[in-house]
Homo-oligomer: A and B are copies of this chain.
Amino acid sequence: MTARTSPESARDIPEATVARLPVYLRALVTLSEQGTGTCSSEELAVAAGVNSAKLRKDLSYLGSYGTRGVGYDVDYLRYQIAREIGVTQDWPVVIVGIGNLGQALANYSGFRSRGFRVVALLDADPARHEAVVAGIDVRPFDELERIAHDHSVAIGVIATPAVAAQDVADRMVACGITSILNFAPTVLNVPAEVDVRKVDLSIELQILAYHEQRKTQGAATA
């Protein structure tokens, strides 16, 4: 029987809620560093930039970690969310494509502090194999299989040009990587069991441009 009621919550959390949990977690870390021991849903909601009703509903999917009339214990809730997301454990990550963006990612401190450990930087260009970025040697892309196997890597980051991204993704999937964060501006084709999240810098700007155009349109047309 397939774990019909797993002991520790984790039934099925709505996707929209999952996307907000890291935001709550960051807000809690900030509150904790400020020395706040307890906070209400209203305070935490303001810190996270959301509605307090939505926040409470989100947290209710994890369980009842608050106390009515009091609020939430900051450190306790912080741990519970971290455990739910899975950042209490250590996630080995490999980054492929060490251009400007890849280097920025490798240097980003927000990864390590949240349970992600960059175990390798790979690039197909031999000219980059001499480099050391963020204290890590840049290695040839061909070593992907060995590294992924040795470190049991489950998460891969693609920061290559668009043309190379699909090949990289195919190789990653073949290595047993089942979660991919894709910064290349292209649509990746992967098996259904592999999760892909896409971050496209120019798309975000275009969405802003659309709204900006609508704002100024009225004045210009008049």
Contacts and interface: CB of A to CB of B under 8 A. Distances in A.
Contacts of A87: 206, 209
A179 B208 contact: yes
A179 to B, nearest CB: 4
Contact of A212 (B3, B91, B104, B108): B91
Contacts of A85: 206, 209-210, 213
A205 B203 CA distance: 19
Given A100-B103, A185-B110, A10 B201 contact: no
Question: How many copies make up the complex?
Answer: 2
Interface stretch (A51-59, A68-76, A140-148, A214-222): A214-222
A131 interface: no
A149 interface: no
A187 B93 contact: no
For the residues of A in contact with B, the DSSP-based class is helix
| Nearest 3 Cβ contacts at the A-B interface | A86-B213, A100-B104, A49-B187
Interface stretch (A14-22, A35-43, A121-129): A14-22
Contacts of A99: 104
Interface in A158-210: 178-181, 185, 187-188, 193, 195, 197, 199-210
Contacts of A25: 206
Contacts of A96: none
Query: Chain A, interface size: which category?
Result: 35 or more
Contacts of A155: 205, 208-209, 212
19 contacts: A6-B217, A19-B203, A21-B206, A23-B200, A26-B185, A49-B187, A87-B209, A99-B104, A100-B100, A101-B101, A110-B185, A114-B205, A154-B216, A155-B209, A178-B212, A179-B208, A181-B205, A193-B215, A199-B201
A99 B200 CA distance: 19
